[in-house]
Amino acid sequence: MIGYAYGALGGLMGFLAGFGATLSHILGDIFTYEQFKPFLPFSSREISFKLFRSSNKAINNGLLGCGIFVFIISYEPSILWQFLDFIRNYL
């Protein structure tokens, strides 16, 4: 619906959102033990930093929380400044 309402700008926003989501998912996969080929059409090199298992609930919940936070501030950037003020004043 956003793409229709805003024309070409909405289409660009949708493309950037999809591209960003895919890129962040690949970056998250790089840190797991499972090796994969992120550049498969161009290179068959397998990559993995092997920092944690993909089944680790704490890491998954932390990454989910970061994703939700980034999603929220992408639509309302003033929330970021309010959050930083909260941290500075109360912690």
Print pLDDT tens along the chain (91 aa): 444 556 777 778 778 888 988 898 888 889 999 998 988 889 999 999 999 998 999 999 999 999 888 888 877 878 888 888 888 998 7
Whether 49 and 28 have beta carbons less than 8 Å apart is answered as no
Of 64, 63, 66, 62, nearest to 74 (Cα)? 66
Name the pTM for this structure: 0.65
Number of Cβ atoms within 10 Å of the Cβ of 26: 13
DSSP 47: B
Q: Which long-range contacts (CB under 8 A, 24 or more apart) does 22-28 make?
A: 24/67, 28/63
**Can you tell me which residue has the tokens 């998954």?**
60
Distance CA 56, CA 72 (A): 24
